[in-house]
Chains A and B, each alone.
Chain A
Amino acid sequence: VRSIELQASVGRLTGEKEGELAELLRRAQSGDQEAYDRLLRELAVLARDYASRRASRLLGVEDFVQDVLVTVHRARQTYDSSRPIAPWFYAIVQSRFVDAWRRARRRAAHEVPLEDSTPERPLVPEERPGRSCSDEILGALDTLPPLQRRIIRWLKVDDLSVRQIALRLRMTEGAVKVAAHRGYTTLRRHFGMRSER
């Protein structure tokens, strides 16, 4: 099936056009930038046509076209100017197409619709009537050991830096961070959230 498809594709690029593209690629192999620019633009049209006739909805067509052009660039030394260009070019196109198709299918299999990924529990605690969110947080802070409570207050309420707190408490910066981290973990547990880990 693949070879029949390849032959059908090759059939679309025959005659003068093929000779012209082969000549452009031959000149590109010797470093002619103008010929190479024309060649890549012509090949981009053919690759776009190939993709849009097959699976444009699943593939990002422009990503696929760019992939083909980069591959043509890297494989340009393998073209033998005594042979037709169509089998060479469409072998690359077909290979890139299969890769892109597989990538798209893999991605589609792992994607989960947005509504299914909504967490069961809200990330921010719901406000209860008569009690504001900040009251709840401050209340939760009071349940922490004194050192952790003081560090988190200074960090989050008074906006002090870790260094300043370390100097005040005569602790190392690392110890301040560890105490703050433990405090955050306790707070998360208090609000019923999952740990970031």
Chain B
Amino acid sequence: MKTDVVVRRLVDELRPVRPLRPVPRRLAQWSIVVLAVLGVELGVAIARDIGFSGVTRPALLAQATLPLGVALVAAAAALQQSIPGRADASLPTVSLVLFLLWVGVLATAVAVGPPPSFAVWTAAPAARCAAHVAASGMPGGVALLWLVRAGATLNGVQTGILIALAAAASGALATQLTCPNPSAGHLLLWHAGSVLAIALTGIKMRRLLTAWSLPARKSSARAR
């Protein structure tokens, strides 16, 4: 097909579009979803009178700021990646550094504290916390995916990892605030470990994120 024909078809297909909203505004929209999830989590914890004591512990509150930072920076990076020409390495790097800092704080606490018992690694809330991280992060993940897909992602793998990291970190934050097990070993393995595992599954989102530009859809658009 000649390029002239493609140009004519694209011009015929032209409809007015609303320019994509700026990154801070879309980040604020995403934060509302995450805050709503956190609110529900805290509400449930208060109603059942479980784990709410964790929120008042200064050490846990301090630790909670790190997953919060990871979530916000990773979400901002993912939203920025959805705009061609705006992606840079600084935000993804900052989110990675914050994640490593969180892991480092927990690992240090494990190293300097008394040796954790076997139960710390395997006790009842362990696997439940991992599932809780995934479940609490799901609404934020879906919302972020929706916001990113409104743009035009060119790097599907990196954006997928960032979306999954932001979602999982927000899920970890919600879980950490209500988790009855405050030991650093538990938090390192079942909270931070879950975030890492979920973030890596973000690679699988590549096709979903770049579907707008795949040749198969392009040819169907050309055929119209």
Contact = CB atoms under 8 A, between A and B. Distances in A.
Interface of A: 28-31, 33, 36-37, 40-41, 44, 62, 65-67, 69-71, 73-81, 87-92, 95
Interface string B153-187: 01100000000000000000000000000000000
Given A29-B16, A80-B20, A91-B154, A65 B11 contact: no
Given A33-B11, A65-B3, A78-B82, A70 B17 contact: no
Contacts of B213: 71, 74-75
Contacts of B1: 66
Nearest to A6: B85
Interface string B134-157: 000000000000000011101100
B7 A29 contact: no
A79 B20 CA distance: 7
B157 to A, nearest CB: 13
Given A37-B11, A70-B218, 13 more contacts: A31-B16, A33-B14, A69-B3, A73-B14, A75-B84, A75-B151, A77-B17, A78-B19, A78-B84, A89-B84, A89-B85, A91-B84, A92-B152
A124 to B, nearest CB: 37
Given A44-B7, A66-B3, A88-B85, A79 B19 contact: yes
B6 interface: yes
Contact of B152 (A40, A41, A74): A74
B36 interface: no
A95 B155 CA distance: 8
Nearest to B88: A3
Given A75-B84, A92-B154, A67 B218 contact: yes
B121 interface: no
Contact of A36 (B14, B82, B218): B14
Nearest to B218: A70
Given A70-B221, A80-B83, A37 B17 contact: no
A158 B68 CA distance: 81
Contact of B22 (A31, A36, A80, A95): A80
Among B84, B85, B154, chain A packs the most CB atoms within 10 A around the CB of B85
Contacts of B128: none
Interface in B1-26: 1-3, 6-8, 10-20, 22
Nearest to B83: A78
B14 A70 contact: no
A90 B218 contact: no
A88 B19 CA distance: 14
Contacts of B221: 70
Contact of A69 (B6, B19, B152, B215): B6
A81 B151 CA distance: 15
Contacts of A88: 83-86
Contact of B14 (A28, A41, A95): A28
A78 B22 CA distance: 10
Nearest 7 pairs between A and B by C-beta?
A75-B152, A87-B85, A31-B16, A91-B85, A88-B85, A91-B84, A77-B17
B212 interface: yes
Contacts of A92: 84-85, 152, 154
Nearest to A37: B11
28 contacts: A29-B17, A29-B19, A30-B16, A31-B15, A36-B11, A37-B8, A41-B7, A44-B7, A62-B2, A66-B1, A69-B6, A70-B6, A70-B222, A71-B152, A73-B13, A74-B212, A77-B20, A78-B19, A78-B20, A78-B82, A78-B83, A81-B19, A87-B86, A90-B85, A91-B85, A92-B84, A92-B85, A92-B154
